[in-house]
Structure 1
Amino acid sequence: MPAETTDDEDVVQPEYNQQATFVSHLVELRTRLIHALLGMLFVLLPLLPFANEIYAYLAQPLLIHMPEGTSMVAIEVISPFLTPFKLTLMLSIFITIPWIFYQIWLFVSPGLYSREQKIALPLISIGTFLFYMGIAFAYYIVLPLIFQFITATAPEGVAVMTDISKYLDFVLTLFFAFGLAFQIPIATFLMVKAGATTPEKLSEKRPYVVVGTFVLGMFLTPPDVISQTLLAIPMWLLFEIGLYASKKFIKPTQSASE
């Protein structure tokens, strides 16, 4: 005769399955984290010998506007080594963002429906592209305008000698702010897609959005009016792009039902 199962065994079996599933998720998460880290190291190691050249390239927007006879300075003892290394590390992370997102996708995609997978992958790709566009906009347009203004308005008798560590922190803050701000079309599209709002409601709130972009620009950028304005205006334009995309690609009944 087959052995009879007790009520306790019926309770233990689902708990065991849940624990096994949880452990398998942790193992998969560890695997994806290791792969992401290895990808970053794969990019970082070849770049380390060129750390000083990379920093010199990053400093060009400031150096070309500095008065003759002046240069950047390193106040802290370890700054000449640590600052270029920090920049190279951040650069390797920026470069491997697609690979990191791919690892995240491999981890979460099994739990998504097919219709969710169809929209998630394009949004991740577009979001990555927009992040890089934000960094490029900050480097090639915003930074030259900021440093041209700052060096031109320096009081007479004041030598502009920027610390290399402070400069890196300033630039990385701008890069992160503009990379994040360029995600606004994605955020707008997802809000409409999820049914949290509609394009018509967003259009009605446009004046508040414009004010909000300047407020966010104040918090996300260093405390100067130029960088705040140069961030707020693209944020507003990106909001309009996201609004247009939501009107074009999302049906009204679809946004309302989802």
Structure 2
Amino acid sequence: MLNILSSIEAYVKGQLQSRPPPIVHEGHKLPVISVAFSPDGNSVASGSYDKTIRIWNAHRPSSIGEPLTGHSDGVESVAYSPLGDVIASGSDDKTIRLWDVNTRRQSGVIKANSEFISVDFSPDAKLIASGCGYSSSPPASLSVQLWDVQKMTAAANPFKGHNFWVSSVQFSPDGSRVVSGSWDTTIRVWDVERGTTVVGPLEGHTNSVHSVAFSPDGSQIVSCSNDGTVRMWDARDGKLIGNPYEGHTYG
């Protein structure tokens, strides 16, 4: 038994010693609010309250080019297109800006009447889903909105149902649905074609929902909240899967 324990201890120590040190990227002047890996895993985009987007090498602590500038207020969300050639950034300046990764130039801008808290590309890169809100927003803008990437205009009427800021949105892997999380403590699943809630509202969190995501096969949804929990949901019927994961003391 002692030999087995010694072997396990030696293995664990070896694994820890051989683990590469963390890569730390520094350069933003204010808090970094959103990060996203490129589809090929070679770069990371970050958005900050310093109004800039930066692209970083995922394998060593170095930036790729100069910061992307153009927003006039903090950047709340960044997302790569499925091909990795475009970055979308949502900002408190009430715009979504598109950036060509190769030329590092702005390739388009979407304007609205509300701050953009979350953005996500559809799997075919033809649409962007956005979550809107914040204190200056009119109640009608507390919604999920789809945008046509080519036309830079709304692709459908707003998806309405939440009654507070929409803090997180993500397309399902097949692009047919969008999941949203809100400060109203609920999660909703929307049909992209009809713009209606098809699952939910999912209730259980006792404080604002900060982030939501589909599982790779689209069958489950994970959410995290200011109530300090992570919860798993069945994406088909909205039922809670198991007990909440607890341990965090805040959002």
- TM-score, normalised on structure 1? 0.26
Instruction: Choose between structure 1 and 2 for higher RCO, CA contacts under 8 A separated by at least 6 residues.
Output: 1
Going by fraction, where is helix more abundant, 1 or 2?
Answer: 1
Of structures 1 and 2, the larger Rg is shown by 1
TM-score (norm 2): 0.27
Give the structure with the higher percent strand.
2
